[in-house]
Amino acid sequence: MTNRHTTSIRRAWQSIASRPLTYLTLTAVAFFSAFPIYWSVVVASHDNSALAQIPPPLLPGGNFFANVARVFDTAPFQLALLNSVLVAGSITISVMLFSTLAGFAFAKLRFRGRNALLVLVIATMMVPTQLGIIPLYMMMIKLEWTGTMYAVIVPSLVSAFGVFFMTQYLSRALPTELIEAGRVDGASTWALFWRVVLPIARPAAAVLGMLTFMTAWNDYFWPLVVLTPENPTVQVALSQLAAGYVQDFTLGLAGTAVATLPLVLVFALLGRHIIGGIMQGAVKG
Amino acid sequence: MSAPVKAEARSRPAPSRPAGHPRPRRHLFDTKISPYAYISPFFLLFFAFGLFPLAYTAWVSLYDWNLLSSEQTFVGLDNYTELLADEYFWNAAFNTLSIGVLSAVPQLLFALWLAHLLNRPLRAQTFFRVTLLLPNVTSVVAVVVIFSQLFGREFGLINMVLEAFGLGRIDWQAGTATSHAAIATMIMWRWTGYNALIYLAAMQAVPRELYEAATLDGASTFRQLVSITIPMIRPTIIFTVIVSTIGSMQVIAEPMLFGAQVSAGAMATGGADRQFQTLALYLYEQGFRSFEFGYASAAAWVMFLLVVIVVGINFLLVRRMRGSLDS
């Protein structure tokens, strides 16, 4: 990105005296962004009595794995983790596939009603989902899906945001000439999708997949409504763990660490790409 | 927002197939019909689980519809008149507005400033961006569990710090203002970085020459932010204001879990005195604790109307902001 700046501008900006202040501010913000997560690990690695000390402990203690073991004894966390992997995994694959398919059609194929349908997709991104939650719950009762993972997975199999995101990406990244050339060679649209569109869509689909996985993994409200305490996703199990009559912070925060740290680690490794994706979507949004 | 797509369609070159060369029928079918096949999985699921429930809510709201009884009686607009006379509903509306203002206004201003700081050649750009978005990766459940500990009355870190400075402990959860501040902090922590990145993306599309000229003219960076950046990224600002408004009208998990953390019975009521029950939480209480589906559906529709009104007001306010900036 810095290539775009000319050296003269860089020099001018470097001369601005407020730059130490810039770094100081950004470092402070980075600290406050990371500290609560760090603090939760600190609390999760002590026993409850250590928390009453003044000053409180600021470094991790030795009880982390004992507390995590207690989490798995208290709540059906193993099942919850399995359920969450199943839910987030199938939603991710489905959203990636169907968004790329629809995005390809909207970006590069011509058909009657295309613009009206695309406007419909974008418009519904703005409508609060809570508006339809009661009929959706009634549908789940009718289908006898309450308490099962179907109720969590099926309504999330497609996403308007995903279609919008892939449409935007493919209309820029996929050369129309490539499609036309394939057509002249006699390839069907379906063959074009597999051989031309998918390879080009892959980077954006990967970003969409990571965003979708995170959203599905972190979803709380709908799973809470349709699932039972005996068969929860990880967020639902976590909320049960934390909502006891007795406040057991080390237990609650050890559970938080189990539910959150894998995602935070993946994000630390792949965050650059996800941020790139968010920013790319934002420019056109 | 569909403008770029339309432009794409227009600039598309004419088919390179020479005139007079007839397309085989199978090919015609492939190009005319197959697009519908590609969008159909999305639209089938989208209609069944997205649009149909939205429309059905209106129908249900006209009935006395309780999960526990097998009969549904048509009551017309009774649910709505009852709702508008319900003091708990208005309490929830006030709380939603209060938490929304407390979280969204500082959040967006701060995000704008952060993006402005990041929109310069800096070392460790990626590091700052990744840490900025770290809170957004954390689930809302984790955020509330962590912050409930931080805001705890007895062992909370924030109260310990307050006490170290000679200020008294605060029972954050008990009061209306303090609980709203605590919940707004959770929302701000989670979303500021996200909005900062959206602003940053828009800022990078602003022509560099404008800043160059302003710097030569001796304009301070703050002056450049106000006179160049903000006017240039106004569409993005409007976008984030609308999205944040819609988001804050729907706040539910934070008050729900904050209540559950402090006393097990307060999950649906948002505190013992409903001091932090939001509209969405009120909807949850009616729909999934009392199972009054008709009444809750009416609440959903009124909530939607309020969202539209508040978003509309905000949209007009942000649009008017332009006038004061340009003059």
Instruction: Kindly report the average pLDDT of chain B as a whole number.
Output: 84
Segment B61-66 mean pLDDT: 86
Please indicate, yes or no, whether residues A126 and A29 belong to a single structural domain of this protein. Answer: no
The answer to whether residues A234 and A217 touch, using CB atoms and an 8 Å cutoff, is yes
Residue indicated by tokens 């006393």: B263
Please indicate, yes or no, whether residues A125 and A165 belong to a single structural domain of this protein. Answer: yes
Contact B141 A163 (CB under 8 A): no
Please indicate, yes or no, whether residues A42 and A117 belong to a single structural domain of this protein. Answer: no
Higher pLDDT, B227 or B14: B227
**Domain boundaries along the sequence of chain B:** 78-321
Lowest mean pLDDT among A224-233, B22-31, B210-219: B22-31
A3 occurs within a structural domain: no
The ipTM (two decimal places) reads 0.84
A1 occurs within a structural domain: no
Structural domain boundaries, residue A244? 69-282
Nearest to A188 among B30, B114, B139 (CB): B30
Contact A242 B160 (CB under 8 A): no
**What pLDDT, on the 0 to 100 scale, is given for residue B320?**
76
Please indicate, yes or no, whether residues A49 and A160 belong to a single structural domain of this protein. Answer: no
A8 occurs within a structural domain: no
Domains contained in chain A, number: 2
Q: Show the tokens assigned to B47.
A: 């209609």
Per-residue DSSP letters for A149-218?
THHHHGGGS--HHHHHHHHHHHHHHS-HHHHHHHHHTT--HHHHIIIIIHHHHHHHHHHHHHHHHHHHHH
Please indicate, yes or no, whether residues A43 and A154 belong to a single structural domain of this protein. Answer: no
Please indicate, yes or no, whether residues A181 and A215 belong to a single structural domain of this protein. Answer: yes
Contacts of A102 in chain B (CB under 8 A): 38-39, 41-42
A256 occurs within a structural domain: yes
Contacts of B293 in chain A (CB under 8 A): 134, 138
pLDDT tens-digit readout, B158-208? 888 888 887 888 888 888 899 999 999 999 999 999 999 999 989 988 888
* B74, containing H or E segment: strand B73-74
**What pLDDT, on the 0 to 100 scale, is given for residue B10?**
45
Q: Show the tokens assigned to A240.
A: 């049960």
Please indicate, yes or no, whether residues A27 and A83 belong to a single structural domain of this protein. Answer: no
Hey, what CATH topology would domain B78-321 get? MetI-like fold (1.10.3720)
Please indicate, yes or no, whether residues A263 and A226 belong to a single structural domain of this protein. Answer: yes
Please indicate, yes or no, whether residues A86 and A217 belong to a single structural domain of this protein. Answer: yes
Contacts of A176 in chain B (CB under 8 A): 8, 12-13
Please indicate, yes or no, whether residues A53 and A81 belong to a single structural domain of this protein. Answer: no
pLDDT < 50 regions, chain A: 1-2, 15-17, 283-285
Contact A4 B208 (CB under 8 A): yes
A180 occurs within a structural domain: yes
Contact B121 A14 (CB under 8 A): yes
Higher pLDDT, B183 or B70: B183
Q: How far apart are CA A256 and CA A244, in angstroms?
A: 14
The last residue of one of the domains, among A38, A61, A84, is: A61
Mutate to test the interface with B, among A22, A31, A33, A120 (most CBs of B within 10 A): A33
Please indicate, yes or no, whether residues A163 and A29 belong to a single structural domain of this protein. Answer: no
Residue B4 pLDDT grade (very low, low, confident, very high; cuts 50, 70, 90): very low
A4 occurs within a structural domain: no
The answer to whether residues A92 and A209 touch, using CB atoms and an 8 Å cutoff, is yes
Contact B250 A109 (CB under 8 A): no
Please indicate, yes or no, whether residues A35 and A104 belong to a single structural domain of this protein. Answer: no
Residue indicated by tokens 């959206």: B198
A252 occurs within a structural domain: yes
Contacts of A280 in chain B (CB under 8 A): 201
Report the residue of chain A nearest B260, measured CA to CA: A243
* A74, containing H or E segment: helix A64-74
pTM score of the predicted model: 0.86
Residue indicated by tokens 């970003």: A207
A9 occurs within a structural domain: no
